[in-house]
């Protein structure tokens, strides 16, 4: 697994964790204005923030409602305590949520969360309300992919980047290339040779500058590259040996534009918009299509369902673990009368069945010592099992079929695996049967 792929995957997992956190924070509600949302952009002076909180504490001491006053003061104190954990604002900024929320049972529960976002956040926010404000984090998720643009024609070249709705011109330069010569004889050959040499030097400069713009610390810093232009320069660049292969492999689209420079950049963005909006959608479709192809070809190198997928994962056979981002399964760890630990994975229906909470050998109740969402557990252990982890949605037809037909969890295997030989599985547990699904 390449360093770039590994980094992309880790960022996707961080984004999934962020989505999950945002969903739970957005749903939380409290009494009065006792829920504090604090967002600090990079390089914020913590001393100033602490002074602001001290002033807020003094102001909040005048709240007439005793219950609300004590809740607000408690939230401010918790926020101050969280800030003491940091000597300075982290490189990507700092997000703090503190307050008292109401659970589904109507009970009060204190929430204190602080973390550094997975990428820089440029919003500054301090609010006391009856809910947590997560809008800035939602915007951070939407602007998660950075695309590079090279706009090249006979007059010059522009390098740009697009992340979410933010576009940036990184560099541009102009060039004067000789026109085609209409005269005949020896002079035509000489002018033709000079013209080709100038074009060659121009393409070399374009290719070398692209490395400076889109490769940082020997790693490509964009998820995709779009080549735009009004002539053949963009195609010549893509075919050229001078163009770094790491960048060539990132080219996702070439577009014809009517202009060069900044106008050409804007036109290239417009013409690429449909692709840019659907890039994750396309990547997801490719992954699940590959999974279905393995099934259609009967390679025996796929697995699905919670039990069989986790057995294959424990065996180190799973190369790519594919999981629906909203899969509702919990991991339980129990202890039996012999002081042995028993691990079970249960969905909401299985959690209603008391048989899943007793010892299958003795019928005695098991002692529950741990419970956590299975997806959070997988996000922590997938590397130890030697697998790649990919979260998918059910927005595409392929994704929906994977969720409904295969339980929302499966894996592409490194080798064929006989599931009946793992953990004494029964013949009925074979991990797939064409007749069951097709």
pLDDT, tens digit (0-9, with 9 covering 90-100), for 11-62: 778 778 888 888 888 888 887 788 999 999 998 999 999 999 999 999 888 8
The answer, yes or no, to whether residue 433 has pLDDT greater than 50, is no
Residue located via tokens 């604002």: 89
Helix 3-27 to helix 135-142 angle (10° resolution) is: 150
Summarize the confidence of residues 70-92 as an average pLDDT: 92
pLDDT value of position 394: 84
Band (423; pLDDT cuts 50, 70, 90): low
Q: How far apart are CA 281 and CA 392, in angstroms?
A: 9
Residue 309: the pLDDT is 94
Going by their DSSP bridges, the two strands 35-40 and 215-216 should be labelled as unpaired
pLDDT band at 3 (very low <50, low <70, confident <90, very high): very low
| 433 vs 307, residue with greater confidence | 307
What pLDDT score does 397 carry? 80
287-346 pLDDT tens trace: 899 999 999 998 889 999 999 999 999 999 999 999 998 899 999 999 998 999 999 999
Classify residue 96 by burial, with Cβ atoms within 10 Å: 0-12, 13-18, 19+.
buried
38 - beta bridge partners? 96, 126
pLDDT at 417: 82
Separation of alpha carbons 12 and 388, rounded Å: 11
* Higher-pLDDT residue of 254, 141: 254
The alpha carbon of 422 is separated from its chain's Cα centroid by a whole number of angstroms, namely 33
Tokens of 355: 């048989």
273-292: pLDDT as tens digits: 877 766 667 778 888 999 99
| Residue 201 clears pLDDT 60, i.e. is over it | yes
Nearest to 95 by CA among 83, 110, 87: 83
Question: Mean pLDDT, the chain, as a whole number?
Answer: 85
Q: What is the DSSP string of 254-315?
A: EEE-S--HHHHHHHHHHHHHHHHHTHHHHHHHHHHHHHHHHHHTT-S-EEESHHHHHHHHHT
The pLDDT tens digits for 60-71 are: 888 888 888 888
pLDDT score recorded for residue 308: 92
- Among residues 238, 46, 18, which one has the least CA distance to residue 137? 18
| Tokens read off for 93 | 């900024």
Could you tell me what percentage of the chain is helix, strand and coil, using 3-state DSSP and rounding each to the nearest 5? 45, 25, 30
**Nearest residue to 222 (alpha-carbon basis) of 163, 308, 293, 151:** 163
Distances (CA, A) of 186 to 181, 195, 243: 11, 14, 33
- pLDDT at residue 1, as a whole number: 47
Tell me which residue of 90, 78, 83 sits closest to 41, measured CA to CA.
90
* Model pLDDT, residue 231: 75
DSSP, res 189: H
Q: What is the pLDDT of residue 195?
A: 74
Mapped onto helix, strand or coil, the DSSP state of residue 160 is strand
Identify the pLDDT of residue 297.
92
What is the pLDDT confidence band of residue 109, given thresholds at 50, 70 and 90? confident
């Amino acid at each position: 697994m390449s360093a770039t792929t590994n980094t992309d995957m880790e960022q996707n997992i961080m984004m999934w964790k962020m989505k999950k956190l945002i969903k739970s924070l957005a749903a939380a509600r409290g009494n009065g204005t006792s829920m504090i949302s604090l967002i600090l952009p990079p390089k914020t002076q913590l001393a100033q923030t602490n002074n602001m909180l001290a002033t807020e504490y003094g102001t909040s001491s005048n709240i007439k409602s005793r219950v609300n006053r004590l809740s607000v003061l408690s939230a401010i104190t918790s926020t101050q305590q969280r800030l003491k954990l940091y000597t300075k604002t982290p490189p990507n900024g700092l997000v703090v949520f503190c307050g008292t929320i109401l659970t589904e049972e109507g009970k009060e529960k204190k929430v204190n969360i602080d973390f550094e976002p997975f990428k820089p956040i440029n919003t500054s926010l301090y609010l006391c309300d009856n809910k947590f404000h997560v809008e800035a984090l939602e915007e951070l998720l939407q602007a998660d992919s950075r695309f590079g643009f090279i706009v090249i024609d006979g007059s010059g070249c522009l390098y740009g980047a697009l992340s979410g709705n933010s576009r940036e011109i990184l560099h541009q330069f102009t060039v004067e290339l000789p026109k085609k010569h209409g005269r005949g004889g020896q002079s035509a050959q000489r002018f033709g040779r000079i013209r080709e040499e100038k074009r060659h030097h121009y393409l070399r400069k374009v290719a070398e500058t692209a490395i400076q713009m889109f490769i940082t610390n020997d790693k490509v810093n964009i998820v995709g590259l779009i080549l735009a232009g009004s002539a053949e320069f963009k195609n010549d660049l893509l075919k050229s040996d001078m163009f770094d292969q790491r960048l060539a492999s990132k080219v996702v689209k070439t577009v014809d534009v009517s202009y060069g420079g900044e106008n050409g950049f804007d036109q290239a963005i417009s013409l690429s918009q449909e692709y840019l909006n659907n890039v994750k959608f396309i990547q997801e479709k490719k992954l699940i299509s590959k999974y279905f192809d393995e099934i259609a070809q009967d390679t025996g190198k796929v697995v699905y369902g919670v039990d069989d997928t986790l057995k294959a994962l424990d065996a180190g056979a799973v190369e790519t673990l594919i999981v629906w981002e909203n899969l509702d399964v919990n991991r339980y760890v129990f202890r039996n009368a012999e002081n042995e630990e028993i691990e079970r994975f249960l969905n909401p229906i299985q959690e209603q069945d008391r048989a899943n909470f007793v010892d299958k050998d003795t019928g005695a109740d098991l002692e529950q010592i741990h419970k956590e969402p299975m997806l959070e557990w997988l996000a922590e252990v997938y590397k130890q099992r030697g697998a790649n982890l990919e979260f998918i949605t059910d927005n595409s037809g392929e994704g929906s079929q994977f969720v409904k037909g295969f339980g929302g969890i499966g894996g592409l295997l490194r080798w064929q695996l006989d599931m009946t030989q793992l953990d004494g599985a029964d013949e009925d547990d074979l991990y797939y049967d064409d007749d069951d699904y097709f």
